[in-house]
Structure formats: structure tokens, C-alpha cells
Amino acid sequence: MDEFEVETLADPDLSDPVLVEGLPGVGHVGKLAAEHLVEELDGDAVRRIYSQHFPPQVAIEDGRSELANAEFHAVQTEQGQDLLVLTGDHQAQSNRGHYLLTDRILDVAAEFGVDRAFALGGVPTGELIEEYDVLGAGTTDDVVADLEDVGVEFRDDEPAGGIVGVSGLMLGLGERRDIETACLMGETSGYLVDPKSAQAVLTVLEDLVGFEVDFGSLEDRAEEMEEVVRKIQEMEQGTPTPSDEDLRYIG
Amino acid sequence: MDEFEVETLADPDLSDPVLVEGLPGVGHVGKLAAEHLVEELDGDAVRRIYSQHFPPQVAIEDGRSELANAEFHAVQTEQGQDLLVLTGDHQAQSNRGHYLLTDRILDVAAEFGVDRAFALGGVPTGELIEEYDVLGAGTTDDVVADLEDVGVEFRDDEPAGGIVGVSGLMLGLGERRDIETACLMGETSGYLVDPKSAQAVLTVLEDLVGFEVDFGSLEDRAEEMEEVVRKIQEMEQGTPTPSDEDLRYIG
Amino acid sequence: MDEFEVETLADPDLSDPVLVEGLPGVGHVGKLAAEHLVEELDGDAVRRIYSQHFPPQVAIEDGRSELANAEFHAVQTEQGQDLLVLTGDHQAQSNRGHYLLTDRILDVAAEFGVDRAFALGGVPTGELIEEYDVLGAGTTDDVVADLEDVGVEFRDDEPAGGIVGVSGLMLGLGERRDIETACLMGETSGYLVDPKSAQAVLTVLEDLVGFEVDFGSLEDRAEEMEEVVRKIQEMEQGTPTPSDEDLRYIG
Amino acid sequence: MDEFEVETLADPDLSDPVLVEGLPGVGHVGKLAAEHLVEELDGDAVRRIYSQHFPPQVAIEDGRSELANAEFHAVQTEQGQDLLVLTGDHQAQSNRGHYLLTDRILDVAAEFGVDRAFALGGVPTGELIEEYDVLGAGTTDDVVADLEDVGVEFRDDEPAGGIVGVSGLMLGLGERRDIETACLMGETSGYLVDPKSAQAVLTVLEDLVGFEVDFGSLEDRAEEMEEVVRKIQEMEQGTPTPSDEDLRYIG
């Protein structure tokens, strides 16, 4: 296998698709959000990237192995806006690997005529979140203004240390290739997988790009996670608190 | 020396050989199993792979040094099924090294006309094992069905995190080169070298591939290991428990 | 993006410029000093180096992203001596990366006709500094003599372990390319960003190269840092000490 | 600078020189021994290897910088046996770097017509040594027999884990290039720089190769180290023990 191999799974005609990237990261916010789009909007896998820069690893499902990869999905929304959504279970495993992988991702994007991209992720706050703000960053003043219009927050020195990994390089290398790119980062505690933060990010993305997606399944996962949090808190405090679920069944 | 060098030691004619890989890993299950085949069935070394991706290390035996390598052995079974068995003391030392090494292994396999391969290994359970199940994974529905037929277990989300290292890539890269590959993973505590787990894996392999091998020497090693475990338990508990050995000599 | 990319931002005619390097390091001494030159002497950005050997990271300012880079600035001093000042937020992230990056830096220097270079940095003492000595090292007896003339200290076995990173290789690779290079290392505790040490280094550089720069803003930052130190000491001792600031307002 | 650069410093005619390698390692035994040969026998530097696989570092001596390197010295012994002695302050910094560096070392050796090589090093025992045995390993039965003849020890499973780094690869890669190579490993505690172990190794090397060297300066360093050990022991026990030095001055 070469350092990178891009496999063609399908070749649909997409009209001005917007690239949406959601690889694993803080709170798995980007990954949850991107996978939700693919599932709810019936995305079709169109390209798969294998790389020696992914871990030397296969996933197993129903006894069948699958080599580490990242996958592009063609998503056609009811509102007419096409998306090209990148999901996967891995980031690259080295500094250079991040640069090389992001360039391959942008190669595929270019092939589909992408000129606008959104990198989705989470930004850790260190505490449980009440209201899920979404922070942003972009490669042009135009896209930054667009983000401001839909309520994305911009704060001095946040995220501290900038943005690292594929999402960071989507901005850095996207700009160098004239792809207008923004990063949407949902606030999240950083301790748990966070479907609510993913929903906050997708809500912003809906407004920005112009499409709609149902959040039912993501809300279900959020409730499961809240149940987990409640149980952890109970264990710490030694006294059970009634859950919404329990209350629902009283009387 | 080049990044990889493959040395030809012998060039026997093998008829439809099955590749069996057993490099070091959890409980040294795969390594024990592969070495047992080579010893019991009088394997002949046919290829040796040296690599800059192995540790910069020589082993010493009887004062003579031997550069880190992995070795292929031609094994002819009494049942007529030829095997090509890969053994060695090292895995590659980096992510990319795993990919590159596995590709070289598959190059050699292709040279011998291999179209079916088995990667042997262990899966850690974290506790001492009573009954040694063997878990499996494969690259095609056919080979998965074959594994099921001989009692290999398939469990959801096991092994958690998939399969890593050369055994994982034997599946991942084997599939990409149209070599039907399965991984057989013997349950093992993960704390000790585990000859019983190796025997469990080989018993499954016998059924799958169609050959027989004597397990006497592996059973002897298993007894030695059990003696070790008993002594560790005694030290922890402060009171000696009679061993099978002791009991055998009573009266 | 290639392994390294050098972007041309401007192409001024510089007359025998001296290269001044100040990337991050102990006490951020070199970085503070180099940035101070660029700000006070109105440097113009002329070249920017991007590299896969920098972290996979973008910085965010006012919502806009900027890919990790190092930047050369043309600085024309009132005294007629031109400077080429290198600043940035990152060192290379691997051994080889340091070698490759330093060679690219020297390529740019060669392009501007540089034949003398100064690498600025700090040397950690492990304790708070009263008097800021500057230690030195150079590639030729001539430049070492020049440093001695302006009061640079040379001590046996200091810095212990030699000089590591880009500053070290500016000497090592500069010498191999016939660029007369010296390293100026301001003593610094090693615990804090140290503007006073940066000022000490720049004072030596002024004498060596022949230019003048105002230190007002650097002194302000030094006072801020002293205030920080005082507060830390108070917290440790539990009793507040009056600061210069407080005293200034008495009566 | 290229990945490796070999600089020619002098080009003496050496007659059948034996390569002696002594880079840093356990107890600095090999380095001390090789440097002792160069100093006592007036070696001339003939080749210098620079490499991106060494640390990105310069050493400083008398204010002058020197880029990390390894150096070959031509040594002509009174007994007529020429030596090519490799010394340096660094090993390579990665697995592959060790392989690549050792190959470059053997390239230089080949250039001088070397067909026998000795890698010098230490083997850690974990306790202070009374009698300094020297362990060995070699690439051929002949050289192993030669080592046995001069009292080198061969023990089962020692050194455990084989020999790692440049000394190990001198054997592994030397053998592949038909250079008969042996490794001489002086026993050493592993806690301290050990001139006595270096002397033990050199004594064996004298017998093997046929030359003589004075050990005065090495014995002086050994006494200094013993003084250090005595002081450490005193500090631990709280009561001073008279040193040889003290005793010498009684009365």
C-alpha cells in the first residue's frame, strides 16, 4: 500500500458541494455531528482514504475487519444544498501525517469542486456546560462575518493555543488552496462524548449552509449521556437523584 | 542495508501453502503457536526479512550475534497441506513501519502463491482463564463462516479497539491484495506467556486448515507456567498449596 | 503543501544585512528580543516559511486563522545597518526537522546576501536573576573576540550540554555554509517569560552590530512580569509586600 | 546539509587497520576506551560524520561551537598494528537512524580496507564490580574462538535482550558486509562512568589485536571515580571512611 490510497466508491454529480469534516477530537463533537449528517440525510460513501499515517489497526464488525480509513459521503439535502461529509475513526498519528492527510482530504475536495469547507470540533471548557455556545474561526473576513451573523462566538485567546490537528490544518492548508474554510467548535466539558455540543454545532451549520436535519436521534444519545452523568454524580455523592426517566413514571 | 532486505535461504516448491503469522504480542500466543508448528513439523527456513523498522538490535546465542529479523519457514504436514509460517522476535517500531513490514510479508506470501492467511495472536481478558476460547475476525464472509464452523467465537465489540499491529494489518492489507485472511486470537490473561492459549489457537487452526500437530511440548511448557503461577499465588498468600507434581509423588 | 514552502511577501534591497534569529525557547528571550526589534524598528515581513515540521496548528487572531510559520522581517536601522530578523511561534517538532528548518532559514539568509548571523536565546540559571549576564558562543575566533569586546561572558561548560534546537544549528550549519554566526544567550531563571533578559541580549547586539533601539516597551513588559513575580511571592508567603506601583501613589 | 555528510580531514595510508568503535553507552565504557586509545597513541582525526540523525545540537569549547558529529582517528601503534578508532558524543536518535549511521560508519571502514572490527561497550550488572569481567559476542565462530582465547566470557542469555544501538548493529550490519566483528562489553554497575571497566575492555583488545597502551591516565580517572563513590557512600552512611588518599598522608 502506498503512503496514501484513495479509493473511489461512487461518483455522483454534486452541485457546488460544501465540505464538512468531522474526525475524532474533544468530546467527539465533530465526529458525532458529521456522522449524524450522514445517517439522517442518507449519505452515500464516495471516497475512502487509507494511509500509513493512520494507526496500524483494523476495526471489527460482525466478524469482518476494516482497515483504518476516513470516508467521504455525498449528502443531498432537501433544501438543494449538496454536502461532502468526511467521517472516520482516526486522526493521523504524527505531525507530518496531519499535514499530508489534510492535503489528501483537500485533493478529494478539489476533485468535487469544493470551494467552501467547515471543520467541526469541540473546545474543552473543563466544566459541565449549561448553554452550548459555538466558537469559530475562519480563513477570510467574509466567512468570519458569516459566522458572526449566525451567532458564532469569537473570543480573545480562544481556543488557547489555536486549533490543532486536521481541523486546524483544514483552515491553514485550505486557505493556501483558496478554499474558504471555517472551523465551528462546540463548547464541551472535555470529559465525555457530547451529543448536545454536536447538535449546537449542527444548528449553526444549518443556518450557515442552508439545510435542515432532524435532531431526534442525537437528542436520544444526549439523554443517554445525561443518564450516565447523573449516575456518576450519584456514585460520587452516595445518594440517588431521581432522573427524568424515573419522574416520568411516577403515578 | 536497505529499508527492507529479504534474504532467500531456500526455495522449495510449496503447493498452495497457507500463510501462518505469529509475531510477538499479548501473552506471546501467536509467537508460541507459530514456533511450535515450525519445531514439531520440522519447518525449513526459506526467507528472512531484515528491516530498519525493527529495533537496532542483535540477539546473542552461543556467542554469535544475529541481526533482528523475521523468518519464513516452509512446513510440509503429513496431511499434505503445506504451510508458510512466519516467526520472529520483533514487531516493527513505528506506525508506518507496521504498514511497510506487513506489505513485505505479503510480498513474500505472494511469491509462494499464498491466497489464504492466518494471523495468530492473543486477546487479553485481565483475569486467569479457565476455558480457552478463541476469538476471530476475517476479511470475507466466507472465511468468517469457516471460523464459525470450527467453534471460533465472535463477540460484539471484541477485541475492543480492533486489532493492532502486524496481525491487524495482515487482515487490512491482506484484503486489499485479495488474500483471504483471518485472525485467530486466543483468550489469555495478558499477564503471562500462555502456552495453553497457543494450543487453543492451534487446535482451531488444525481444523480450519487440515493438519495435525503433537501438543506434548506445548503442554509441558504450560505445566511449567502453571507452576510459576502457583508459586506467585503462594508468595501472595503466604501458604503453600500442593502442586500436581507434589501430589503425584505422595506415597 | 511541500515539506517546506517559502513565501515571498516583499523583496526590498538590503545592504549587507545581519541575520537575527529569535524563535521560542528558554524564557522566550530570543523571541521577545527579535519581536521587539521588528516592532520598534518597523520591520517589514519579507519571507514566510511554512513547514510540515511545524506543529499541525493554526493560531487564531480576531477570528482569522494563521497557519504555523516563521517570518523574516527586513529592518532598516537609523544607523544604516540593515537587519533580517526571523521570528515565529514554533520550533521544528523533531530532530531532523530542526536540521531541515535551519537549512531553509540559511537558504533565505543566503538569498539576501547574509554573511553574519546572530541566534538569540536564553540560558536557564534556576534562580531569579539580579544582574543579567549574556553568555556567548561563536563559529570563528574572530566573532568570539568580537563578543568578548562587548562584554559577553564565556564560561567553562556553559551552557551545559551545549546549545540545542534552531539556535544551536544556526551555529553548526551556519559554520558549514561560511556564515559567521554567534549565539547570544541571556541568563534567565527559566521559570518566566523574561523581558529583562531580552533587553540584556539586545543591548549586547546593539554594540556588536551597530544600531540603537528604544527599550521603553520592553521595560514596561518587564515591570508587568515583576508585578506577577511579586504576587506569586505574596501568595507563597501569605503577606502582601508593597509594589513600586503602590509606593508611587502613597501620599 | 544532507542526511549524512562525511568530511575528509586527512588521508593517511593505513595498513590493514582494525576498526574500534566507542560511542556513548552504559558506563561510557566504550567511549572512555576509544578516547583513551586516541589520546595515548596520538591518533589523527581522518573523517568526521555529521548527520541529521544526531541531536540538533552544538557543543561549546572555549566559546567555539562544534556541530554534533562522530570522528574517525587513524592510530598507528608501536607494535605495527594500525587502528581506525571511532569516537563521538552521540548515538543516533531513532531506530532507523541507528541503522543508517552504522551503515555510514561501515562505508568509511570499507574505504580504509577494514575487514575486522571491534565494538566496545559496557554491560550493566546493577551492583558495584569487584572483578571486571569482559563479555563478548561475535559474527563468526572464528572471532568467537579468538575472544575465548583471551579470556572473554560468554554467558547464556547475557546480555539479556541482546545488544542494542550502534554496537549491536556493528555486529548485525558488519556481518552482512563481511566484516568480521566482535563486541567487547565490560561489566559495569551502570550507575557511574567507569574507567576501570574501560581498562578491562582495552586489556582484552590489546591481546586480541596485538598492541600496547599505557593505562596511567585511565587509572587516575578510576581513582577519581572511586573517590566519588566513597563520598557518596559516606553521605549515605553519615560516617566518613578514610580514603586511600587520606591513609597515604597519615604520619
Contacts of B67 (CB under 8 A, 6+ apart): B50, B57, B58, D169, D171, D172, D173, D175, D176
Predicted confidence (pLDDT) per residue in B22-38, tens digit: 999 999 999 999 999 99
Residues of chain D positioned with their CB less than 8 A from the CB of B50:
176
Residue A47 distance to chain C (closest CA, Å):
21
Cα–Cα distance, A19 to A82 (Å, whole number):
9
Interface with chain A: mutation pick from C60, C90, C95, C100, highest number of A CBs within 10 Å: C60
User: What is the β-pairing status of strands B44-51 and B70-76?
Assistant: antiparallel
Mean pLDDT calculated for residue range B170-192 = 96
H or E element in which residue B75 lies: strand B70-76
N residues, chain B: 251
At which residue does the C-alpha cell 486489532 appear?
Answer: B163
What pLDDT, in 10s, does the model give residues C133-158? 999 999 999 999 999 999 999 998 88
Indicate the residue of D56, D65, D94 with minimum beta-carbon distance to C98.
Answer: D56
> Using N-to-C axis directions, what is the helix angle for A29-40 and A216-237, rounded to 10°?
140
Per-residue three-class SS string for C108-157: HHHHCCCCEEEEEEEEECCCCCCCCCEEEEECCHHHHHHHHHCCCECCCC
D141 close to B (CB below 8 A):
yes
Q: What residue ranges do the domains of chain C occupy?
A: 4-247
Q: Which of B69, B75, B80 is nearest to B12 (CA)?
A: B75
- Contact D81/D210 with Cβ under 8 angstroms? yes
Kind plus residue range of the DSSP H or E element containing D73: strand D70-76
DSSP-derived secondary structure for B148-167: HHTT-B--TT-STT-EESHH
Pick the CATH number of D4-247 from 3.40.50.10900, 3.40.1280.10, 3.30.870.10, 1.20.1560.10: 3.40.50.10900
All 3 cell numbers of residue A24? Answer: 475524532
Chain B interface mutation, best of D23, D91, D95, highest count of B Cβ atoms under 10 Å = D95
Q: What are phi and psi of D38, to 5 degrees?
A: -65, -40
Shortest CB distance from B93 goes to which of D95, D140, D162?
A: D95
CA separation for the pair B56, B67 (Å, rounded)? 8
Q: Residue B83: which residues within 8 A CB-CB, separation 6 or more? A: B17, B18, B19, B20, B37, B41, B43, B74, B75, B76, B77, B209, B211
The contacts of residue A139 (CB under 8 Å, 6+ apart) are: A171, A174, A175, A179, A180, A181, A182, C64, C65
pLDDT at D226 over 60: yes
Cell, residue D139: 559474527
Which cell goes with D150? Answer: 583471551
For the segment B124-137, the average pLDDT, to the nearest whole number, is 93
Instruction: Please name every residue paired with A180 in a beta bridge, in sequence order, or none if there are none.
Output: A116
Cα B135 from Cα B204, distance rounded (Å): 10
Q: How confident is the model at residue D232 (pLDDT cuts 50, 70, 90)?
A: confident
**pLDDT number for residue B245:** 47
Contact (CB, 8 A) for A158 and A123: yes
**Three-state DSSP class for A26?**
helix
The grid coordinates of residue B238 equal 503466604
Q: How many Å apart are CA D186 and CA A34, to the nearest integer?
A: 60
* Residues above pLDDT 90, as percent of chain C: 84
- Taking one residue from B and the other from D, the number of pairs with CB-CB distance under 8 angstroms is 81
**Chains within contact range of chain C (3+ C-beta pairs < 8 Å):** A, D
D154:B62 CB<8 A: yes
pLDDT in tens, D145-180: 999 999 999 998 888 889 999 999 999 999 999 999
Residue B68 parent element (H or E): none
Q: Report whether pLDDT(C230) > 90.
A: no
Reading chain A (251 residues) residue by residue, the pLDDT tens digits are 999 999 999 999 999 999 999 999 999 999 999 999 999 999 999 999 999 999 999 999 999 999 999 999 999 999 999 999 999 999 999 999 999 999 999 999 999 999 999 999 999 999 888 899 999 999 999 999 999 999 999 998 888 889 999 999 999 999 999 999 999 999 999 989 999 999 999 999 999 999 999 999 999 999 998 898 888 888 887 765 555 444 443 33
Distance from CA of C157 to the nearest CA of A (A): 34
Kindly tell me the sign of the dihedral angle through the C-alpha atoms of B106, B107, B110, B114.
Answer: negative
Q: For residues A155 and C58, what is the distance between their CA atoms, to the nearest angstrom?
A: 16
**What is d(CA D167, CA A107) in angstroms, rounded to the nearest whole number?**
45
How confident is the model at residue B147, as a pLDDT?
98
Polymer length in residues for chain C: 251
Integer angstrom CA distances of residue B87 from B33, B57, C250: 9, 17, 82
Are the C-beta atoms of residues D154 and D135 closer than 8 Å to each other? yes
Of A198, A186, A190, the closest CA to residue A126 belongs to: A190
Integer angstrom CA distances of residue A207 from A145, A150, A152, D208? 13, 6, 11, 82
- Note the pLDDT of residue C238: 72
CA atoms of B65 and D71, how far apart (whole Å): 26
Q: Binning pLDDT at 50, 70 and 90, where does residue B193 land? A: very high
Long-range contacts of the stretch D221-230 (C-beta < 8 A, 24+): D221/D32, D221/D195, D222/D195, D222/D196, D225/D192, D225/D193, D225/D194, D225/D195, D225/D196, D228/D192, D229/D128, D229/D192
Residues on chain A touching B144 (C-beta within 8 angstroms): 62-64
Residue carrying C-alpha cell 497457543: B198
Does any CB of chain B come closer than 8 Å to the CB of residue A60?
yes
- The confidence score (pLDDT) of residue B241 equals 54
Closest Cα partner for B108 from B10, B33, B204, B208? B10
Neighbouring CB atoms inside 10 A of C245's CB total 11
Section B91-111 average pLDDT:
97
pLDDT tens for D194-221 read: 999 999 999 999 999 999 999 999 999 9
pLDDT value for C144: 97
**Taking a C-beta distance cutoff of 8 angstroms, is the pair C89, C68 a contact?**
yes
A80 interface with B at CB cutoff 8 Å: no
pLDDT of B110 over the 70 cut:
yes
* B58, three cell numbers: 542483535
Instruction: Say which residue the cell 582525526 belongs to.
Output: D45
The answer to whether the beta carbons of residues A86 and A48 sit under 8 Å apart is no
For chain B, the average pLDDT equals 93
Return the pLDDT at C234: 86
Residues C21 and C11: their CA atoms lie apart, in Å, by: 19
- 3-class DSSP assignment, residue B225: helix
Evaluate whether A58 touches A227 at the Cβ level (below 8 Å). no
Using the Cβ of A56 and the Cβ atoms of chain B, whether some distance falls under 8 Å is answered with yes
The closest alpha carbon to B198, from B172, B173, B225, belongs to B225
Q: Per-residue confidence at D182, pLDDT binned at 50, 70, 90?
A: very high
d(CA A52, CA D239): 60
Could you tell me if B62 lies within 8 Å of chain D, comparing CB atoms?
yes
Decide: B100 and B4 in contact? Cβ < 8 Å: yes
Query: Dihedral of the CA atoms A214, A216, A217, A222 (nearest 10)?
Result: 120
Cβ distance D91 to D166 under 8 Å?
yes
Instruction: Mark out the alpha helices in chain C (DSSP H runs).
Output: 29-40, 95-111, 141-149, 166-176, 195-205, 216-237, 244-248
DSSP 3-state of B132? coil
Contact across the interface for D172 and B62, Cβ inside 8 Å: no
Query: Is the pLDDT score of B251 beyond 60?
Result: no
Query: Is any Cβ of chain D less than 8 angstroms from the Cβ of C166?
Result: yes
User: What is the pairing mode between strands C18-22 and B163-164?
Assistant: unpaired
What is the per-residue burial (b if ≥16 Cβ within 10 Å, else e) of D149-176? ebebebeeebbeebbbbbbbbbbbbbbb
Under an 8 A CB cutoff, do A65 and B172 touch? yes
Integer Cα distance of C50 and C3 in angstroms: 8
pLDDT band at C251 (very low <50, low <70, confident <90, very high): very low
Q: What separation, in Å, do the N-terminal and C-terminal C-alpha atoms of chain D show?
A: 63
Taking the C-alpha atoms of residue B143 and residue B146, their distance in angstroms, rounded to an integer, is 5
Single-letter amino acid code for the residue at B19: L
Measured from the Cβ of residue B32, the count of other Cβ atoms closer than 10 Å reads 28
Which residues pair with residue C74 across a beta bridge?
C44, C84
D64-67 and D57-61 strand pairing: antiparallel
CB atoms within 10 A of CB C39: 14
| pLDDT exceeds 50 at position D82 | yes
What is the distance between the alpha carbons of residues A10 and A12, in angstroms, rounded to a whole number? 6
